[in-house]
Amino acid sequence: MTSNLAAVSYGVNLSPVELEHLRKVLSDVGASFTSEARSGDERFGVYTIGLAVDGGTAADLAEIRRRVADAAGEGVDTAIVPAGLRGAPRKLLIMDVDSTLIQQEVIELLAAHAGKREEVAAVTEAAMRGELDFAQSLHARVAVLAGLPAAVVDSVREEVRLSLGAAELVAAFKAAGHVVAVVSGGFNQILGPIAGQLGLDYWIANELEIVDGVLTGKVLGAVIDRAAKEKYLREWAAAEGISLEHSIAVGDGANDLDMLGAAGIGIAFNAKPAVRAVADAAINMPYLDAVRHIAGV
């Protein structure tokens, strides 16, 4: 059985030496080259090789990814992507929000107004590394916000900045007729305006409780946690009639792992080591729109 794949390399400095080394690694795993193309812009370069390889099991693909990752040079990452995903007429892109779609962690921005930023940041880091239960950690972090005026939410919304290339990534997927969704352990009050601005098809986050114009330190309803992120990926893909094999998930923390694992390809974006270790691909530069090159959009 022959599988058709693409090796997509990207980095701020794609040197000929690194690319030649990649070609050797791919040859050593028995891949034959069917095409090659260069793209990118002044920020980063992209080099894509079409591959034909014997064997099409998940284990075969995982082994190729492992060999390529082990041989990667500094500043260059390579995603091994099934050709079926890159060529799919409709795809679903689903992303985390904090430290993925946007540059900040919103809970830390809110906590700063309560004088608790460092304390909350330490808990966030531990949760993203997978050392703490996400729901429990969220409740503990939100509790420090009790008593803050609701106007703080508006102030924080003004501080939020999209990740570099985020708007371009969403626009490219939408223009090509694909579906774009985000699922966040953050908060609807922040995410809603961003979702509207970008024209997202689906979005969900937690809801901060506000009573009489004051934050209560609680969230309403079930927490959007690791399991919920995978659940919404499956629900939204089914609603759109898109196979999970044609979905792309992007995130940076431990609470994204189930979503990354369920998608056709899971991409770790400037992620914690535990996430990079198990994701199908990694982006270790600040440009989120590298995802479009991986997905063939």
Catalytic residues: 96, 98
Q: Which residues, listed in sequence order, are joined to residue 51 by a DSSP beta bridge?
A: 5, 33
Instruction: Note whether 45 and 38 are within 8 A (CB).
Output: yes
- 79 backbone φψ class: left, alpha, beta (φ>0; ψ -120 to 50): beta
The one-letter amino acid at 173: F
Asked if 38 contacts 47 with a C-beta cutoff of 8 angstroms, the reply is yes
3-state secondary structure of 4: strand
Q: What radius of gyration, in Å, describes the C-alpha atoms of the chain?
A: 20
3-state secondary structure 187-213: EHHHHHHHHHHHCCCEEEEEEEEEECC
CA dihedral for 209, 212, 215, 216, sign (positive or negative): negative
Pair type for strands 32-40 and 45-54: antiparallel
What's the CA gap between 134 and 277, in Å, rounded? 20
Contact 224, 183 (CB under 8 A): yes
CA separation for the pair 297, 295 (Å, rounded): 6
Residues with Cβ within 8 Å of 62's Cβ and at least 6 positions away in sequence, in order, are none
